Amino acid sequence: MKFRRTSEKPAHSAELPSELTETLSQLDSDALVISARDAVVFTTAGVEQLGLVKDGRVQSQELMAIVRVVRRTQEKQLSDIELPRGPIGEGKHELRITVIPIIEGEWIVVFIRDESEIERVAQVRRDFVANISHELKTPIGALSLLSEAVASAKNDPEAIAQFASRMQSEAKRLTDLVQEIINLSRVQDSDPLREAQEFGIKDVIDEAINQCRINAEARNIYVSASEIVDVSISGDREQIIMALHNLIENAINYSPENTKVSVTTSVDDGIVGIRVADQGIGIPESSLERIFERFYRVDPARSRQTGGTGLGLSIVKHIATKHGGEITVWSSENVGSTFELRLPISRHDNEVKP
């Protein structure tokens, strides 16, 4: 495990023992060491990814309150605390904290275990079983009935051709559904902030648009990207591309031919907003609160025509939440919809470049 030693030394103390830092760096759990001045003098790499420490100071007031109790009582304390995944959105880390005084209380060692990881794995398993049982029955049942129809129409070539075409359609629907369930499970089964990469917004927008190019050209819909502010974010690049692809693909599928889908960005107070706007059929106000639920479809008949699985927007929400961000929507029927994916800008990206 990687670790980082800060430059500040505790007041009136000897050097932090190298044996201690070496031991902490070998543990499975993350850890940090706090000096008598409340300065963080050592962290493992995972602590930085959690955003728990900034400029050599612990950012959680709840944790610092526990540290002060340990410093006063010289006794170990165990506690559970919640830490936001980002400055916006609903995502949270659920942390199990163990705080221990060492060397006569001169330093405080904090061990950190992300309990949300355990719950997340259990939730993934439950969701996967529920998803499979809920949605796969329809296309599998249709294929079974169609195969019986083909067998009974063996002397009618025209009927066989018609049934075969429908079987191909149902097989594609089944393939798409399985892939989306796999995508959702992968998103739920990952923590993009633990092994975060830094990448530019412009690059992922361009790739997502290119992935939708064939569908857009087939429907004669023009997809444009303008006012793109090329800042960097941290996380999983492929997941962000997947989220943008789903938003753009939805905009294309629910828009009339010969219309436009636009992708724009803006930056406000350390947050980049990526907006995907269409001139489509819009979403009824009664459905706006439910469109990010798994398998929810505003218009089931339209979803069957476009090949929609009802999982695309749910995947987008999971990706946004996992990255410490959020997804919002504005829509008006017969006017269009605008989805905005809002994500924290990388803390290492201090310069906004047009």
- pLDDT of 282 above 50: yes
Question: Is 328 in a helix, a strand, or coil?
Answer: strand
Q: Average pLDDT, stretch 32-40?
A: 88
CB contact at 8 A, 338 and 276: yes
In a 3-state reduction of DSSP, which class is residue 10? coil
Residue 175 clears pLDDT 50, i.e. is over it: yes
| Strand locations in the chain (E) | 3-5, 30-34, 40-44, 53-54, 57-58, 77-84, 92-102, 107-114, 197-200, 222-225, 232-235, 260-268, 271-277, 326-332, 336-344
Q: Is the pLDDT of residue 150 over 50?
A: yes
Position 156: which residue type?
A: D
Does the 193-354 domain belong in CATH 3.30.565.10? yes
Indicate whether 120 pLDDT > 80.
no
112 residue type, one letter: I
pLDDT tens-place string over residues 288-316: 777 887 666 555 545 455 455 567 888 89
Q: Which of 61-70, 236-245, 292-301 has the lowest mean pLDDT?
A: 292-301
Summarised one tens digit per residue, pLDDT across range 204-231 is 999 999 999 988 998 899 999 888 888 9
3-state secondary structure of 264: strand
Work out whether the CA dihedral 297, 303, 308, 309 comes out positive or negative. Answer: positive
Side-chain-facing half-sphere of 159: CA atoms under 13 Å: 11
Look over the chain and give the mean of its residue pLDDT values, rounded to a whole number.
79
pLDDT > 60? residue 57 = yes
Alpha carbon distance 276, 227 (integer Å): 12
Label residue 136 by pLDDT band (50, 70, 90). Answer: low
Whether the predicted model's global pTM rises above the 0.75 cut: no
Residue 58 bridge partners (DSSP): 53
If you ran DSSP here, which 8-state letter would residue 152 be given?
H
Domain ranges of the chain: 3-114, 193-354
Cα gap 214→139, rounded to integer Å = 26
Spatial contact of 81 and 62, defined as CB atoms under 8 Å apart: yes
The CA distance from 82 to 168, in Å, is: 48
CATH superfamily of 3-114: PAS domain (3.30.450.20)
Helix %, strand %, coil % for the chain, to 5? 45, 25, 30
DSSP 204-248: HHHHHHHHTHHHHHHTT-EEEE-S----EEEE-HHHHHHHHHHHH
Task: Report the C-alpha gap between 24 and 43 in whole angstroms.
Answer: 9
Beta pairing class for 260-268 and 222-225? parallel
